[in-house]
């Protein structure tokens, strides 16, 4: 059993490695926040699909990458050793609006565009471009 200190960073690294190896899918251990993050990426069109695989005590998330998009540039912003928070007025668009930042807010996980629209800030988990 491997203990991971940063589960979201582990998920992003698994996705980067799978895309670098030109695999169409990737698997990672299940958690509620990872599933919410991947569902958000799916709704924004960054990935094709996310499915929960396995039975209750040992579940995995299977991510299917979008074949029409180039490999994602995933960057962890807020790390366990250094948390990064941003107010809605301080958020700048990622890649001049072509990328996205994922934030944990009081209203759940939101993209930077939605957070600015709803005028809420939060912890910046990662950026996608």
All structural domains of the chain = 7-65 (3.30.1370.30), 74-128 (3.30.1490.10)
What whole-number distance in Å separates Cα of residue 11 and Cα of residue 45?
18
What is the C-alpha separation between 74 and 68, in angstroms, rounded? 17
pTM: 0.92
Contact of 24 with 6, CB cutoff 8 Å = no
pLDDT greater at residue 13 or residue 97: 13
In order, the DSSP letters of 53-120 are: EEETTEEEEEEEE-TTSPPP-EEE-SBTTB--EE-GGGPPPGGGGTSEEEEEETTEEEEHHHHHHHT-
User: How confident is the model over 51-79, as a mean pLDDT?
Assistant: 94
pLDDT for res 113: 93
pLDDT the model gives residue 103: 95
Q: For residue 52, how far is the Cα from the chain centroid? A: 16
């Amino acid at each position: 059993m491997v203990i991971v200190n940063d589960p979201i960073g582990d998920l992003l690294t698994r996705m980067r490695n799978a895309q670098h190896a030109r695999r169409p899918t990737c698997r990672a251990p299940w958690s509620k926040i990872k599933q919410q993050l991947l569902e958000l990426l799916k709704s924004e069109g960054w990935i094709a699909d996310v499915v929960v695989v396995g039975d209750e005590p040992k579940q995995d998330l299977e991510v299917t990458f979008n074949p029409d998009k180039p490999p994602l540039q995933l960057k962890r912003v807020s790390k366990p050793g250094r948390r990064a928070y941003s107010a809605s007025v301080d958020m700048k668009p990622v890649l001049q609006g072509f990328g996205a930042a994922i934030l944990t807010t009081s209203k759940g996980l939101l993209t930077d565009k939605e957070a600015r629209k709803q005028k809420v800030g939060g912890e910046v988990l990662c950026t996608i471009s």
